Chain A
Amino acid sequence: MGQIILGVGDYGASNSPADDVKTFALGSCVSVIFLDPKTRTAGMAHVALPDSSINKAKAGEKPGYFADTAIPALLAQMAKFGCDKRGKGMVVKLCGGANVMDSNDTFQIGKRNALAIKKILWSYGMGAVAEDLGKNFSRTVSISVSAGQITLSSPGKPNWQL
């Protein structure tokens, strides 16, 4: 069984039933998950920040890092497995985007990430069917490609499905 481990700003996809696609300890980062039932392909991007305009060079080198560059990059990656280029027919799920306990807005990067991602998905005519976003704990997330099943974990909590 293969494990495709994605770090911050990485994205990847697989259609090999033996694979898991996994990312560790999402804090304010958001994991964007695309499942394509037709080709049985699963993809994920580990998005750190909402907007690539702060550093174009970084966006060129790691498009998965920013919401606005991650989604086109992940779609292009999935197209290599025969998925629709604009994401038609794909199931979208989102998780992560935690926030520290804060009474003012500046540190709500998790919230801003989720919002930016939803906006871009909307521009593709896509929307999430399931999400586990926000709150104040970190999440590790794993997709099993064979079942298209998403498992989340966080220390001190029983694992749960999305």
Chain B
Amino acid sequence: MVLIYIDHSEKEIKKSSHEAISYGAAIAKQLGCSAEALLLGTVNDDLTALGKLGASKVHQLNNESLNNFDAKVHASLIATAATNLNAEVIVFAHNINGKAIAPAVAVKLDAGIVTGACSLPDLQNGFEVTKTVFSGKAFAHIKIETPKKVIAINQNSFGIQNFEASATVVEMTLPIPAASVKVTNVNKIIGEIPLTEANLVVSGGRGLKGPENWGILLDLAKALGAATACSRPVSDSDWRPHHEHVGQTGIQIAPNLYIAIGISGAIQHLAGVNRSKTIVVINKDPEAPFFKAADYGVVGDAFEVVPALTAAISKMKHNE
């Protein structure tokens, strides 16, 4: 059986977990077994609808206290559930919480793990999974040598499937270990799209000259419904908050569309964004290295091009 861990926050299942279910269901199909999901805590989502993504069952540990994430407690419960349910493969989203617990679960199950996976396993010579390495500059094909396997799938690398099916919800009871962390404060920027979950990202660099000029970028992001990001010098100079810094030493993202405005395209910047499906570069310097990594490019002054692009997007949306 393939067991997929469902991550959630504020009573809502994360998009990356939807993708993980679809990915786990595809592995189950390869192995000829069932794909079942595991939920710790409570959500507002309709759990039977997870059948559409490919889960035949949803095992739920229905306990409000688990809505607070505690890596030690969660890893221990997942490992126990996986053992009780006899799971062969355990799938996580390689997202913030997945990174905190998937490796611990692997240790507890004596399972080999591949994090940052971006392919279905190749079963020809055992169980081989491809992962991104060198911050997206290369791939490694890794063989998992143990009977049990843990895989954490990169966000936005597999996609979401749609089946005509519904899942059965099964309540599970397990003793809950004592909490090891106490959540004392949560500070969420309401209404903003989290960068790691965003399909569309608009990003600005030093070419925008100063924080006072960010309005044109925010307008474009708003017109598109995109999240915003920036280059390292921009966050280092406090023009934008740290959590927007993408690149080798910031956040690595792989949206469907990345629009880079006034960013030169240094190798360390590219390392964080080169897995984006489509890259648009707006830069006044035709020699900017970013154009080599781009799908579409506009050589021009951002202060003219960006408002024009925003107007064109709004026009398109208006005509839809």
**A and B held together in a complex:** no
Give residues in B with beta carbon < 8 Å to A. Answer: none
Give residues in A with beta carbon < 8 Å to B. Answer: none
